[in-house]
Amino acid sequence: MRRRSFLKAALGAGALVPLASGGLWARPLHALPFTRSAAAGDRILVLINLNGGNDGLNTLVPVDDQRYYDARKVLGVAKSDTLSIAPGAGLYKVVQEIHDLYSDGTCAIVPNVGYPNQDRSHFRSTDIWNSASNSDQVITTGWTGRYLETIHPEYPATLPAAPFAVQVSSSTTLLLQGTRGGLGMAIDSPDRFFDLASGLSASNDPVPATLAGPQIDFIRRIILEADAYAAEINRAITAGKNRVDYPSGEIAPDRQGLGPQLQGVARLIDGGLPTTIYVVTLGGFDTHYAQSGIHETLLTDFSKSIKAFLADIAAGGNADRVVCMSYSEFGRRLAENNAKGTDHGAAAPQFVFGAPVLGGNLLGPMPDLGDLDSRGDVKMKIDFRQLYSTLLEDWLGFGHDDTVRVLGGSFTKLPLFRTASVESPEQSLSAGGMVRIDALAPSPASSSATLGYTLAGAARVSVTLFAGDGTRIATVLDRDQEAGAYQLPVDVRALPSGNYMVEVSAGRGRAMRWLQVVR
């Protein structure tokens, strides 16, 4: 079965998927974080931009790699200052809350994310991330802008009641640009917005036939949008509630943290604003000088804010609707400079959060510090567009062909979600209980592991082995089986060390578990 239809067929598999970190058999349905399966149209994606180039090596630390400590005599994070998530991989303790989320199964970590031929300019690289271009290509629209204009062909002829996307900022970025104009709005203060924007009006007089004309048209358009969205934003911000406390705003002099931004987003979501994409930004990651201190402050804010946000979202009953992804224009060089800082690097880990996320997983190996690029930077192993393609198809329910068109190519998806269901809750409930994984041991394994699973009824059963980056490695089994318990040996002798995922699908049920291979 093709992976895409596989995921689609596996609707409701959330009910069956073990929490990988705990290695537990799926809990009864009512105990799952999902109270219902969100329809694709209700789903929300929150993008968290860590601006300036986050030092991935001091976030997800290669704790057993002496080369890291040799290159970072001043800045290296001691293993004892990390929280282990896998052999050789420790999260810096300042992101303790992210470790909590990882342990709870609501955070997946994707290491070595980047793009080929890393550009080390902040601005160019940010444009590449926002536009999803190749590094030798200039695209003047954003990937989410192109996605949104595909699903809203009526825009901009018809203005919706609420914006498709909200950037918490004084301006929107390339990310939300489409070929037909901007697809998102900027709000820096939802509380104040209604008061400022409602009642504005714009003339429709002809504009001058000069370069001033398009500028005036553009400004009038923004006036109309502000006025059009004011009522709905006001309704949502008035009806919405925050149910948890967030970190406070100013985390350093003149440096605003993520807390208040995510708090505003949570309130809009809680108030029922029908907006698909939210964008928040934490700046200050360009740590060329005296990195120690400011980097910890930023990571702490990131960690505490995202945990508060997810708790708030869950408390409002929206846990199954919201997924967050971090992104940053590049990581930083392995070797520290002599100003106790780090220069622009290449690939880095990114984080995906949310109850629907197949969490507790490190989707690939730690950086290979013996195989750096010509500048001494971590090489890309996962293309950033693999994340986008997974989010578009498996989270937002965007069609495969459209995804290929929006991203300018086909990028292998990652196993990021518990369920890729885009169908109704009733169907997903009926699919429960088809298959469960009882055991996958030993893990770590070096030659062979044994998969134990139980079928609730007769079904076509496939067992598939995936690499951590989502690459399909082998079909271990594909045959019809009767109800009952089974034991299946999985040969791992040919596999390099790393994390692998074993998926068992049986009819419409699906279960997955992670297997560690150590050579």
Partner 1 sequence: MNRRRFLLGRLNDDANGPPAPLLSASSDLTPYTPTPDKPWNAARAAHLMRRTGFGVTQAELTSALASDPATLVDAMLQPYTNPTLFWSWTQQPPLDPTAYTQEERNQIYSTWIRDVQFWWIGMMMTAGVKLREKMTLFWHGHFVSEFPKVEVAQYMYDQNRLLRQFAFGSYKDLTKQITINPAMLIYLDGNGSAKGSPNENYARELMELFTLGTGHYANNTPHYTEQDVIEMARALTGWDVNGREASFTLDKFDDGDKTLFGQTGNFGIEGYGEHDALELIFAQTDADYNIARPAIFLCSKLYQFFVYEVPNMDIVQGMAATLVANNWNVGPVLRQLFLSEHFFDDQVIGAMIKSPVDLVMGAMNAFSLKITINVDPGDPESHDPVRAMTFLSQTILYPPNVKGWPGGKSWISTATLPMRIRYLKLWIDPPDLPTTAPYGFEPTTFIKSLPDPGDVHKVVDALVTLLLPVPISDNAKSVILTTLLGGAPDYEWDPDQFEQKIRAGIIKITSLAEYQCM
Nearer to partner 1 (CB atom), residue 27 or residue 152: 152
519 lines the binding site for partner 1 (CB under 8 A): no
Whole-number minimum distance, CB 165 to partner 1, in Å? 11
According to DSSP, the residues that pair with 480 across neighbouring strands are 460
d(CA 468, CA 491): 17
Residue 169 or residue 471: which is nearer to partner 1 going by CB? 169
141 near partner 1, rule: CB under 8 A: yes
Which residue in 24, 212, 441, 518 binds partner 1 (CB under 8 A)? 212
Quick one: which of 214, 317, 409, 489 contacts partner 1 (CB under 8 A)? 214
Q: Which is nearer to partner 1, 264 or 365 (CB)?
A: 264
Closest contact distance (angstroms) between CB of 379 and partner 1 is 15
Residue whose CB is less far from partner 1, 283 or 496: 283
Site for partner 1 in 428-457 (CB under 8 A): none
Q: How far is the CB of 222 from partner 1 (least distance, A)?
A: 5
Closest approach of partner 1 to the CB of residue 468, in Å: 30
Which residue is it, tokens 């197949």? 358
Cβ closest to partner 1, residue 290 vs residue 441: 290
- 192 scored as a contact of partner 1 (CB under 8 A): yes
Q: Does 218 bind partner 1 (CB under 8 A)?
A: yes
Rg value, the chain, Cα:
23
CB of 306 to partner 1, least distance (A): 23
Q: Which is nearer to partner 1, 157 or 494 (CB)?
A: 157
Binding mask 102-131 for partner 1 (x = CB under 8 A): -----------------xxxxxx--x----
Q: Does 347 bind partner 1 (CB under 8 A)?
A: no
Tell me the two tokens of residue 16: 């069956």
**Residue reference for tokens 């629209």:** 141
Neighbours of 320 (CB within 10 A): 24
Q: Which of 7, 186, 299, 502 binds partner 1 (CB under 8 A)?
A: 186
Compute the least distance from the CB of residue 92 to partner 1, in Å.
23
**Residue 73 near partner 1 by CB under 8 A:** no
DSSP 50-107: EET---GGGTEE-TT-HHHHHH-TTTPPPGGGEEEEETTEEEEGGGHHHHHHHHHT-E
Q: Where are the alpha helices (DSSP H) in 341-416?
A: 384-390, 400-407
Distance separating alpha carbons of residues 239 and 78, to the nearest angstrom: 46
Count each helix (H run) and each strand (E run) in the chain, helices first: 12, 23
How far is residue 304's CA from residue 66's CA, in Å, rounded to a whole number?
A: 30
Task: Select the residue interacting with partner 1 from 64, 70, 81, 188 (CB under 8 A).
Answer: 188
Cβ neighbours of 216 (radius 10 Å): 16
Residues contacting 352, CB < 8 A, separation 6+: 107, 108, 109, 110, 323, 324, 325, 326, 387, 416
> Is 335 one of the binding residues for partner 1 (CB under 8 A)?
yes
For 236, what's the count of Cα atoms within 13 Å in the CB-facing half-sphere? 21
Q: Is 375 in the site for partner 1 (CB under 8 A)?
A: yes
Q: Should residue 149 be labelled a site residue for partner 1 when binding is judged by CB under 8 A?
A: no
Of 36-44, 149-157, 211-219, 468-476, the window that binds partner 1 (rule: CB under 8 A) is 211-219
Least distance from partner 1 to the Cβ atom of residue 138, Å: 5
Instruction: Name the 3-class secondary structure at 344.
Output: strand
Find the shortest distance in angstroms from Cβ 172 to partner 1.
Answer: 6
Q: Are 515 and 500 in contact (CB under 8 A)?
A: yes
d(CA 370, CA 482): 49
The neighbouring-strand residues paired with 515 are 500
Task: In angstroms, give the least distance from the CB of 254 to partner 1.
Answer: 4
Task: Assess 289 for contact with partner 1 (CB under 8 A).
Answer: yes
Q: Does the footprint of partner 1 cover residue 74 (CB under 8 A)? A: no
Greatest Cα pair distance in the chain: 77
By CB under 8 A, residue 219 contacts partner 1: yes
Question: Alpha carbon of 51 to those of 73, 167, 299: distances in Å?
Answer: 25, 14, 12
Nearest to 415 by CA among 367, 478, 357, 497: 357
Among 44, 110, 185, 347, binds partner 1 (CB under 8 A): 185
Give the residues lining the site for partner 1 (CB under 8 A): 119-124, 127, 135-138, 140-141, 163, 169-172, 174, 177, 181-182, 185-189, 192-193, 196-197, 200, 202-203, 205-206, 208, 210-212, 214-216, 218-220, 222-223, 225-226, 229, 253-255, 283, 286, 288-289, 335-339, 341, 343-344, 374-375
